[in-house]
Amino acid sequence: MPPRASRADTLAQRLLDAQVAYHLDRFTGDRLESTVAGLVESLLDSAGPHQLADLIDREAVAAVVVRAMANVPGSAAVSGIVELGTQVAHDGPWQPFPVGETVDREQVEVLVTSVLELTPALERALERLTGSPLVGVVASRFMGRIASEVIQANQAVASKVPGLGPLVSFGTSTASRLRGAADRQFEGLIGDAVGKGGTFAVRRLNRIFVETLRDPTTLEAILQVWHQTSGERVIGLGAYAAHAEVSGVVDAAHELAVTALGTEHAARVATLVVDALFEWFGGYTLAELLDQLEWPRDEVIAHLVPLASFVVDTLRASGDLERLLRAQLEPFYASAEVADLLR
């Protein structure tokens, strides 16, 4: 190798070593956080004037979201997180706290009022249940049990009145036999009779339920229940159910979510959501979006700097940061253009 070329290669290697050392020094000790903060600020300054739609490709985001929905929910990592969440829900918080300390009564009242205002929509949804024969059977049995409880309660009261008990008992016995025979006939019939009977029972039950929701006292009753429970402390589900029971419900819901999120229908919905987000926020600059999120720029930097600094410091201590810098810079110093400049 000619002496001049050898000297150029040696000088290029020394320049590479110097630049790597320079950058490593910037990410060492007291300079680490200030360097990372400067990089974050520069990034925000550069991206700040641009609209999000110009910085992020909509189709790429939609593809990532669809891919994540199809694969991530069923992954081992998410399964572990679900298992961990189940354990936390079963055990409860380390220090139980009153429910009322997390939610204000006024917020509960607004929420309940809004839900009760959906009664017409609920009524239309319940009307669809009238087409199910099995729902009709369940509704008939439910109403029959209520009637039976009322009869038994009346009989208990009447038994305390001299001479009235036997009369009510006779009527109850007759009604029970008639109701039992009607139930057996109802369950044994097939066709229109069953359909009409079930439809009638479901509609009657729906009407009772809907009218109860429309009753002004319902709101007061729900708020009274909240007032009673707001002072109770939040504890784990383990006080009410075994871990296996809680886990069974969570696992079933997880499997359902995995299956549903992996369908083409869910993918189309996700794409629509991404499109809607871009239509809504795509015209914002990064600075404007932070204002909309009520997340000041200084707080963003204050949160990002410790996270990034910890990662960079770990990479530097392990030697990975130096290897990364060399891998990126070495091709430049080994290029023919640099060699020509150094000869």
Q: Are residues 43 and 56 in the same domain?
A: yes
Q: Are residues 172 and 133 in the same domain?
A: yes
The string of pLDDT tens digits covering residues 70-115 is 999 999 999 999 999 999 999 988 888 888 888 898 999 999 999 9
Q: Tell me if 239 is assigned to some domain.
A: no
CA 183/CA 144 separation, integer angstroms: 9
Q: Are residues 74 and 24 in the same domain?
A: yes
Q: Are residues 187 and 306 in the same domain?
A: no
| Rounded (10°) CA dihedral 242, 244, 246, 248 | -150
Which positions ≥6 away from 78 have C-beta within 8 Å?
72
Q: Please tell me what DSSP assigns to residue 234.
A: P
pLDDT of residue 19: 95
pLDDT of residue 5: 63
Quick one: residue 271, left, alpha or beta (phi over 0 = left, psi -120 to 50 = alpha)?
alpha
The whole domain housing 181 covers 99-234
- The CB density around residue 285, as the number of other CB atoms within 10 Å, is 16
pLDDT of residue 188: 47
Q: Are residues 336 and 257 in the same domain?
A: yes
Spatial contact of 39 and 47, defined as CB atoms under 8 Å apart: no
CA 114/CA 89 separation, integer angstroms: 28
Q: Tell me if 55 is assigned to some domain.
A: yes
Tell me how far the alpha carbon of residue 72 is from its chain's centroid: 14
Q: Are residues 267 and 317 in the same domain?
A: yes
* 245: pLDDT strictly greater than 70: yes
CA 26/CA 21 separation, integer angstroms: 9
Give the residue with greater pLDDT, 295 vs 164. Answer: 295
Q: Are residues 36 and 151 in the same domain?
A: no
Residues 190-203: what's their mean pLDDT?
A: 60
- Domain count for the chain, please give it: 2
The string of pLDDT tens digits covering residues 115-140 is 999 999 988 888 887 777 788 778 77
| Six-digit token string for 204 | 């009657």
Q: Are residues 136 and 75 in the same domain?
A: no
> For 3-7, 65-69, 184-188, which range has the lowest pLDDT when averaged over its residues?
184-188
Q: Tell me if 7 is assigned to some domain.
A: yes
pTM of the model: 0.73
Residues 290-302: what's their mean pLDDT?
A: 91
